[in-house]
């Protein structure tokens, strides 16, 4: 199993996670995905990739390094993102009752193994 698939496997096992994918932030393309039926990975990749890039510019503007973890919370669920090396970002989509703390820990650990 590749590093990307291994990372997705770990993250999707967290309660409340509806799917996860590895994207290339620069072009918003899906590298690997593990999503529940009906969830469009390409849309997540495009939207999350664009948001991560903009947040990166904001943090750089504030004199800080690029984000290590991002959590976008909506009133129906969340998008979690852990940027890694080579422009890769591990992204997860969660429901309202997800274990966000566990998802964060798993994602940070998993993304460190992506290359």
> Could you list the residues that contact other proteins (CB under 8 A)?
43-44, 47-48, 50-51, 54-55, 57-59, 61-79, 93
User: Cβ neighbours of residue 35 under 8 Å, at least 6 residues apart?
Assistant: 18, 19, 20, 21, 41, 44, 93
CB closer to other proteins, 2 vs 60: 60
Nearer to other proteins, 1 or 63 (CB): 63
| Residue with smaller CB distance to other proteins, 57 or 85 | 57
Are residues 29 and 46 in contact, defined by beta-carbon separation less than 8 angstroms?
no
């Amino acid at each position: 199993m590749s590093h990307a698939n291994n990372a997705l496997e770990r993250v999707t096992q967290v309660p409340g996670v509806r799917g996860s994918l590895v994207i290339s932030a620069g072009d918003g393309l899906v590298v690997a995905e593990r999503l529940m039926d009906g969830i469009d990975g390409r849309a997540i990749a495009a939207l999350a990739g664009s948001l991560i890039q903009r947040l990166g510019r904001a943090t750089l503007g504030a004199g800080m390094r690029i984000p290590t973890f991002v959590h976008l919370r909506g009133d129906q669920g969340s998008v979690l993102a852990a940027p890694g090396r080579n422009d890769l970002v591990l992204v997860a989509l969660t429901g309202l009752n997800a274990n966000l703390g566990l998802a964060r820990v798993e994602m940070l650990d998993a993304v460190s193994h992506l290359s």
